[in-house]
Amino acid sequence: MSRIMDVTLFIEVFVTLFVIMDPPGTVPVFLALTSRMNPRQRNRAARQAILVAFGVIVVFALFGQQLLQYMGISLPALQASGGLLLLFVALELLTGKAEEPAPAKGGAVNVALVPLGTPLLAGPGAIVATMVFVQGRIAADDSAVRHWVAIALGVIAVHLSVYLAMRFANTIQRVLKDSGVTLITRIAGLLLAAIAVQMIATAITEFVRAA
């Protein structure tokens, strides 16, 4: 197994991204954002969110450093923008605006793209962590296939964990009923607002240090 994949690196990538993306923590937010969807729409939104998040992380892992440098965007700026977007979504959840009206057929696609796919799942933290793992291999001039396999499988495993967490949200929906989901929506809005404020605060701190 160690000849095919660096197990230690795989565990490091998986644990790091698992903590950042927090599959169990995405369930209340996912339920809140898809509370007006039927089970089929919710499953489709989960699949699309995972594909979007995976695509964003892969693109930034391979070309992120060059892209940010070309556009003159710093990592703190990326983090602050993600925080502001999440704060806007959190306010909608807290005020109940996210529940009215029921989304149209294409609503699930929009929710899957933003904010589920990014910046909630493929946020600055996950993007930067993956970029660091990839850049570490490049900086070390490491062409060992098993190391790249470990990074790739680590990223895939975390996304699979997030998908499973959202996939079983339908079961949670049936248990909690509408009133329970409404309560979770408000709690999710509060937690999401806290995450957003923390992201913005961290970005401001980084701006001050760089000044």
Mean pLDDT for the stretch of residues 122-150: 78
Go through 81-101 and write b for each residue having 16 or more CB atoms within 10 A of its CB, e for each that does not.
Answer: bbbebbbebbebbbeeebbee
In a domain, 29, yes or no: yes
**In which band, very low, low, confident or very high, does the pLDDT at 2 lie, cut at 50, 70 and 90?**
low
Rounded distance between C-alpha atoms, residue 130 and residue 6, angstroms? 16
Inter-axis angle of helices 23-33 and 39-71, to 10 degrees? Answer: 110
In a domain, 2, yes or no: no
Domain count, the chain: 1
Does the structure show a pLDDT above 50 at 111?
A: yes
pLDDT digits (tens, 9 = 90+) for 49-67: 999 999 999 999 889 888 8
Does the structure show a pLDDT above 60 at 108?
A: no
Inter-axis angle of helices 145-167 and 169-210, to 10 degrees? Answer: 130
**30: containing domain:** 7-210
In a domain, 127, yes or no: yes
Is there a contact between 83 and 203 (Cβ–Cβ < 8 Å)?
Answer: yes
Helices (H), the chain: 7-21, 23-33, 39-71, 75-95, 107-111, 124-139, 145-167, 169-210
Supply 90's token pair.
């959190």
Does the structure show a pLDDT above 80 at 200?
A: yes
In a domain, 106, yes or no: yes
Supply 149's token pair.
């396999």
Rounded distance between C-alpha atoms, residue 44 and residue 118, angstroms? 16
In a domain, 32, yes or no: yes
Does the structure show a pLDDT above 90 at 136?
A: no
The whole-number pLDDT of residue 104 equals 42
Of 98 and 24, which is predicted with more confidence?
Answer: 24
The mean of the pLDDT values for the chain is: 81
The whole-number pLDDT of residue 109 equals 43
In a domain, 1, yes or no: no
